[in-house]
Amino acid sequence: MVSIFNNKEEIATDAANIFVAAAQNAIQQRGRFVVALTGGSSPVAIYKLLATPSYKAKIDWQSVFVFWGDERWLPLDEERSNAKMAYDCLLSHVDIPKSNIFPMYKEGVSAEDYALEYEKSIKSVTGEDGKFDLILLGMGDDGHTASLFPGQAVLQERDKWVSAYYLESQSMFRITLTAAIINRAKQIVVVTFGENKAHALNEVLYGDYNPEKYPTQLIKPLDGKLLFLTDQAATYIRE
Residue 172 has pLDDT above 60, yes or no: yes
**What is the Cα 7 distance to its own chain's centre?**
20
Query: pTM of the entire structure?
Result: 0.95
**Side chain identity at 167, as an amino acid letter?**
L
Residue 233 has pLDDT above 50, yes or no: yes
Predicted pLDDT at 116? 97
Q: Kindly state the average pLDDT of the residues 190-194.
A: 93
pLDDT band per the 50, 70, 90 thresholds, residue 239: very low
Q: Kindly state the average pLDDT of the residues 40-46.
A: 90
pLDDT band per the 50, 70, 90 thresholds, residue 88: very high
Smallest CA-to-CA distance from 186 within 150, 159, 152, 225 is with 225
Residue 236 has pLDDT above 80, yes or no: no
> 96, 51 in Cβ contact below 8 A?
no
Beta-strand pair 70-72/172-177: antiparallel
Residue 194 has pLDDT above 60, yes or no: yes
Q: Kindly state the average pLDDT of the residues 151-178.
A: 94
DSSP string, 169-229: GGTEEEEEE-HHHHTT-SEEEEE--SGGGHHHHHHHHHS---TTT-GGGG---SSSEEEEE
